[in-house]
Amino acid sequence: MVRTLPEHLESRRAVLSLGSNLGARDRWLTLATQSLERSGARLLASTPRWNTRPRGAPPQPDYLNQLLLMEAPLDGLGWLALAEEAENSAGRLRSVPKGPRTLDVDVVLVLGETAAGPRLSLPHPALFDRPHLLAGAAALVPEWHPAGSDLSVIEIAREQLTGSWARPVPIRGAAGPPAPEWP
C-alpha cells in the first residue's frame, strides 16, 4: 500500500528494529524494508542481519534481526502505524504475547521525540536491555541522546556492551560518517 505522508510535518529520522523467527526469516526482513519504502519512508542506512535468542518468551526459534535508519515526515505514532502495516502485510498474528512471529517491527528511536503511552514508548523500553538494539543504534545514530540521558547512544554502548557486542557494527548506506569505534 502506498501511503500519502503528511506534508505539514518536517521529515524525521527514526531507528526501526526488524525481527523474524518463523518461515523465511531473511525474506520477511527484506519484504518489511520494501513495505516501509513503498509507504514513503526513505532508507538511509541499515545494520547487517544477525541471529538473537528470544528473551523473556515461551520456547521458540531464534530471531533474525536488523536495524534500519529511515526518514519520513512522521511523528512517533506515524512510525508506529507504518511498522504495524509492514507487520500486517507479513500476516503477523498477535495470539501469543512475546510468541513466535513472521515479522516484528519496533520503533526504537525517533529523533527529538519521547513517548510514554500505552501504544508507544520512546525510546523503546528494550533499547538498553537487548545488546543487538543498543549496538545497532550505536552504529546508526551514535551521537543521538535518548530521552532522559545525558549520554549519547555511543557512550551508553561503550559503558554497557561487552564481549562480541562490544565490537562496532558495520552499517550499509550513506547516513553520514562511519560509526565511531568504542573499546
Query: What is the pLDDT at residue 173?
Result: 65
Query: What is the pLDDT at residue 2?
Result: 43
Cα(172)–Cα(12) distance, integer angstroms: 19
pLDDT of 176 over the 70 cut: no
CATH architecture of the domain formed by 12-167: 2-Layer Sandwich (3.30)
pLDDT of 6 over the 90 cut: no
Q: What is the pLDDT averaged over residues 15-25?
A: 94
Is residue 103 within 8 Å of residue 92, measured between CB atoms?
Answer: yes
Query: What is the pLDDT at residue 147?
Result: 80
Return the DSSP state at 104.
E
- Helix, strand, coil percentages for the chain (3-state, nearest 5): 25, 20, 50
Over residues 131-172, the pLDDT tens digits come to: 999 999 999 999 999 888 899 999 999 999 987 676 666 667
Provide, rounded to the nearest whole percent, the portion of the chain with pLDDT above 90: 64
Cell numbers at 74, concatenated: 512522521
Q: Could you tell me which of 44, 7, 11, 8 has the C-alpha nearest to residue 110?
A: 11
Mean pLDDT of the chain: 86
Domain boundaries, the chain: 12-167
Over residues 65-101, the pLDDT tens digits come to: 999 999 999 999 999 999 999 999 888 776 778 888 9
Q: What is the pLDDT averaged over residues 29-55?
A: 93
Q: Which residue carries 502506498 as its cell?
A: 2
pLDDT of 178 over the 50 cut: no
Query: What is the pLDDT at residue 5?
Result: 55
- Higher pLDDT among residues 127 and 162, named by residue: 127
Cα(107)–Cα(41) distance, integer angstroms: 13
CA distances from 160 to 20, 48, 79, 134, 156 (A): 25, 21, 27, 9, 6
The per-residue DSSP string of 111-148 comes to TTB-EESSS-EES-TTTTT-HHHHHHHHHH-TT---TT
